Amino acid sequence: MNRFIIPVLVFLALAAVLFVGVRHSPNKSTMVSALLGKPAPAFELPVLGDATRTLDSRQLAGKPWVMNVWGTWCVECRIEHDTLLAIARQNRVPLVGLNWKDDDEAAQQWLAQLGNPYGVVAADREGRTAIDFGVYGAPETFFIDADGLVQYRHVGAMTPEVWEREFLSRLPQAALP
């Protein structure tokens, strides 16, 4: 009997390691941002629909904001759009759109047709800001705190549950009604 104890223990340990590994494998929904706890990358990009304005990320500093990366070529973005509109109606935190490698006209048409949840949309036509944020697939949504640090990144369509659990919970209490 004794001689089986060690092999069984080794087997159980290996099974546990593999189980955890498989459950937490880097698939699209669980990949953690490399920027967590670090300053959000600075950017200055043209504002969608207004050729005379640019959005400088420094304008956003000082209070929490949320950045949603989207494109009209992105199917999941359409799926989350109603949730974003509902979030915008709550008006709890500025919602900035990062229009990733898109056609300006198509993007404006999309917002005109489906509604515009964003306070402002920056046009990242070359995808450089997206790379600075470590974006690998739209939609992605970032929470940046008052100190300008990235506190959370959600990959995939936004849902009311994720919004409540991961974004609203990170707002300072003073911002709550």
Partner 1 sequence: MKRFVLLLVLVSGAALAVDPTTMPTPELQQRYEALTHELRCMQCMNNSIADSPVGLAQDLRRDVKELLIAGRTDDEIRTYMVQRYGNVILFTPPLQGSSIWVWVLPLLAAVAGLLIGIRIVRRRARLVEQDESVVDGDDGAR
Q: Which residues bind partner 1 (CB under 8 A)?
A: 26, 31-35, 101, 126-128, 130-137
Nearer to partner 1, 11 or 136 (CB): 136
Min. distance of Cβ 88 from partner 1 in angstroms? 27
Closest by CA position to 41, among listed 122, 139, 108? 122
Min. distance of Cβ 25 from partner 1 in angstroms? 9
Nearer to partner 1, 132 or 166 (CB): 132
Nearer to partner 1, 8 or 176 (CB): 8
Min. distance of Cβ 110 from partner 1 in angstroms? 18
